[in-house]
Chain A
Amino acid sequence: MEVLAETLNIRKTYEKQNLFTKKREQVSAVNGVSLKIRKGCSVGLIGESGSGKSTLGRMMVGLETPTEGQALFRGQSISYISLRKMRPLRRNIQMIFQNSSSIFDTSYTVGESIAEVIKNSEKVSKKECLEKVETILEQVGLDALYAQRYPKELSGGQRQRANIARALVLHPEFVVCDEPVSSLDYSLRKQILTLLNDLRNKFGLTYLFITHDLNCVPYVCDIMAIMYAGKIVEQIDLKKNSMQNALHPYTSLLFSCIPAKMPAERKKCTMESIIDTTVIPDSKYCCRFFPRCPCCTERCTNEEPLLKEVASGHFVACHIV
Chain B
Amino acid sequence: MQYKTNQGVQSENKALEIRSLSLDYIMPDQSIHAVVDLNLVARTGKITALVGESGSGKSTVALAVMGIQDKNAVIPGGEIYLAGTDILSMPKKGLRSYISNHAGIIFQDPIDSLNPLLTVGEQLVEAVLIHEKITKKQAFTIALNQLLAVSLPQPEELMKKYPFMLSGGMCQRVMIAIASVFRPALLIADEPTTALDVTVQAQILHQLDSMRKREGTAILLITHDLGVVAEIADDVCVMKDGYIVESGTVEDIFSNPQHRYTCQLLAAAL
Contact = CB atoms under 8 A, between A and B. Distances in A.
Interface in A117-142: none
Interface of A: 48-49, 156, 185-191, 193, 212-216, 219, 253-254, 256-266, 269, 271, 274-278
A191 B270 CA distance: 10
Interface string B258-269: 000000110011
Interface residues of B, number: 34
B199 A253 contact: yes
Nearest to B153: A276
Interface string B226-263: 11101111000000000000000011001100000000
A263 B256 CA distance: 12
Interface in B45-72: 53-54
Contacts of A193: 270
A189 B226 CA distance: 12
B13 interface: no
B54 A260 contact: no
B151 interface: yes
Interface string B152-191: 0100000000000001110000000000000000000000
B167 A190 contact: no
A214 B227 CA distance: 12
Nearest to B54: A185
A186 B226 contact: yes
Contact of A258 (B54, B227, B233): B227
Contact of A257 (B198, B230, B269): B198
B203 interface: yes
A264 B268 contact: no
B151 A254 contact: no
A48 B199 contact: yes
Contact of A261 (B54, B203, B206, B230): B230
B230 A260 contact: yes
Contact of B199 (A191, A215, A257): A257
A262 B252 CA distance: 11
Given A254-B199, A263-B254, A186 B230 contact: no
25 contacts: A48-B200, A49-B168, A186-B53, A186-B225, A186-B226, A187-B53, A188-B268, A191-B268, A213-B198, A213-B270, A214-B198, A219-B270, A257-B199, A258-B198, A258-B227, A259-B231, A262-B230, A262-B254, A263-B233, A263-B250, A265-B230, A271-B203, A274-B202, A277-B169, A277-B200
B101 interface: no
A189 B250 contact: no
B199 A277 contact: yes
B201 interface: yes
Nearest to A219: B270
A48 B190 CA distance: 22
The majority secondary structure among interface residues of chain B is helix
A41 to B, nearest CB: 21
Contacts of B233: 263
Given A186-B224, A260-B230, A269-B202, A278 B167 contact: yes
A184 B38 CA distance: 26
Contacts of B53: 185-188
Contacts of B227: 215, 258-261
Contacts of A259: 201-202, 205, 225, 227-228, 230-231
Contacts of A188: 53, 268
B197 A49 contact: yes
The 7 A-B pairs of least Cβ separation, nearest first, read: A259-B227, A259-B231, A257-B202, A215-B270, A187-B268, A186-B224, A257-B198
Nearest to A279: B153
Scoring A186, A258, A262, A278 by chain B CB atoms within 10 A of each residue's CB, the highest score goes to A186
A184 to B, nearest CB: 9
Given A187-B265, A190-B270, A259-B228, 12 more contacts: A186-B268, A189-B270, A213-B198, A215-B227, A216-B270, A257-B198, A260-B230, A262-B230, A262-B254, A274-B199, A276-B153, A277-B200
B77 to A, nearest CB: 29
A53 to B, nearest CB: 11
Contacts of B169: 277
A215 B198 CA distance: 10
Nearest to B268: A187
Interface string B209-234: 00000000000000011111011110
Contact of B231 (A48, A215, A260, A276): A260
Contact of B206 (A48, A189, A271): A271
A77 B259 CA distance: 55
Contact of A212 (B197, B226, B255, B270): B197
Interface string B95-137: 0000000000000000000000000000000000000000000
Contact of B264 (A187, A212, A271): A187
A187 B255 CA distance: 18
A187 B265 CA distance: 6
Contacts of B264: 187
A48 B205 CA distance: 17
A257 B53 CA distance: 23
B199 to A, nearest CB: 5
Contacts of B197: 48-49, 212
B206 A269 contact: yes
Contacts of A260: 227, 230-231
